[in-house]
Amino acid sequence: MPRLQRVLIANRGEIAVRIIRTLRETGRTSLAIFSEPDRTALHVLMADEAYPVGPGPSRESYLNPERVLQVAKRVRADAIHPGYGFFAENEAFARACGKAGIVFIGPSPETIAALGDKLAARKAALAAGVPVVPGSEGPVGSRDEVRRLAREIGYPLMLKAVAGGGGKGMRVLRSDAELDAAWDLTRGEAKAAFGDERMFVERYIERPRHVEAQILADARRVAFLGERECSVQRRHQKLLEETPSPAFDAKTRAAFGEAACRVARQVRYHSAGTVEFILDEQQRFYFLEVNTRLQVEHPVTEMVTGLDLVAEQLRVAEDLELSFGDMPPEPRGWSMEARIIAEDPARNFLPSVGVIERVQFPQGPGVRNDSGIYRGYEVPVFYDSLLAKLVVWGADREQARRRLVRALDEFVLEGPHHNLAFHTWLALHPAFAAGELSTRFLEDHWRPGESKPGPEAANAALLAAALHERAVRERVQIGGREDGATSASAWKWAGRERGRR
């Protein structure tokens, strides 16, 4: 296949910026699309070319397949990278790209279809000899069928949308009394979000860990690039991820990686993907689903492997082999990612919007910032509230954790409500420091109003105040003039004063 030179990014925000950077490094032309509210978004400003695709609502712009493909054909795009969300797991869109003669950077439409249906994915895992959570073999057709399964499996149960994802279309059932309301709510949510009201049930494991396997596959091989711990969540959506998992030893990791690769081989997977599992308190893992795309948390894997997963996706899309052949790089060290989100943790993580009045990203050893914001940018109401991803690396988990605390303390963000202080609370919590995690971590430990800076942040504030006081004294004493002037210029002092505010 010829080299893919002109790549359209069917996405926005930080993931579009991240893809643009790889395209630029590999000598390709980046083609951005934007809705009207995103006209001055960072991905638009950074791309080589940018084209309007419609008004603010995503259904009329980013999620309108006809408009996106019209733009792609008009600007002579060789390929489309969907990022994550939007069209990343849309079998119909991937198929439409092929019909238009445009390469879809991701798995084949057939693979997306096979794994997008959670029941079909369960069957593929069972065929590959991978354990799944006990549950219904097919969609449940009535409340009575759920009650019958509850007698066989036992409460609690998880009622799940067949086409679900992103934490939507899921309800925990603890008794028959909760069934009627949960049935109506989950079915309605599934139909609204996915256009598919089918549901199934699984046994609900009370305090599992959510651990996923990063895989890369070309035409010849499937490679396991390590696991990611994603247990810290709110409303089934991840807040902080890390690799490796503090729960794994070498034996568990080997079995886990082999199980993930068996599932991928079963469906002839290619490109980047994530095989998700839950781990119970007895260290038994069960298959959940496959995300047929790049994950939000992929940077932690890049930090410990040194790979560029977007560059690997491009190689596979061009029918080339993975850059490392049969020998995946051995992960080195530890990495954590904090999702910086426009939301108010003290008000049940209520989303927030507004203008970014000030932003200063942390820097220093082992720190990476993936972001789509800048000072003066207005966070729109139409899209996901993820602002940035703060990623750190350390030689071991404790160094990575401490580096995360330090970086959070350096991070300045003013404007909408955000969760920076929440992440500081989390990183300093004794249970998190000990690696004692589960998907119920917030239910067990979080109390609104507790997201206050911890000891490190408090000490830093005291030090800053002391330095400021000393500077004021020196300003009066140096130079010997009664008006307090010094040998430093007035411009320099003005800059220093402004920086302290």
**Active-site choice (6, 28, 293, 339):** 293
Give the number of other Cβ atoms within 10 Å of residue 34's Cβ.
21
Give the number of other Cβ atoms within 10 Å of residue 22's Cβ.
19
The residue type of 151 is: R
21/314 Cα distance (integer angstroms): 13
Contacts for 223 with CB less than 8 Å, ≥ 6 apart: 215, 216, 217, 261, 322, 324, 328
Q: Which residues of 71-101 are buried (b: 16+ CB within 10 A; e: fewer)?
A: bbeeeebbbbbbbbbbbbbbbebbbbbeeee
Task: Name the residue among 128, 122, 67, 57 with its Cα closest to residue 100.
Answer: 67
293 given a catalytic annotation: yes
23/14 Cα distance (integer angstroms): 14
Q: Which residues of 116-152 are buried (b: 16+ CB within 10 A; e: fewer)?
A: bbbbebbbbbeebebebbebbeebbeeeeebeebbee
85/63 Cα distance (integer angstroms): 10
169 in the Ramachandran plot: left (φ > 0), alpha (ψ -120 to 50) or beta? left
The residue type of 2 is: P
225 in the Ramachandran plot: left (φ > 0), alpha (ψ -120 to 50) or beta? alpha
457/476 Cα distance (integer angstroms): 29
450/339 Cα distance (integer angstroms): 18
Token duo for residue 342 = 């426009």
Degrees to nearest 5, angle at CA 102 with 384 and 325: 85
With H, G, I as helix, E, B as strand and everything else as coil, classify residue 262: helix
DSSP string for 203-251: EPPSS-EEEEEEEEE-SS-EEEEEEEEEEEEETTEEEEEEES-TT--HH
Contacts for 41 with CB less than 8 Å, ≥ 6 apart: 12, 13, 34, 372, 377
Helix or strand run (H / E) with residue 42: helix 42-46
Return the DSSP state at 132: B
Positions marked active-site: 293
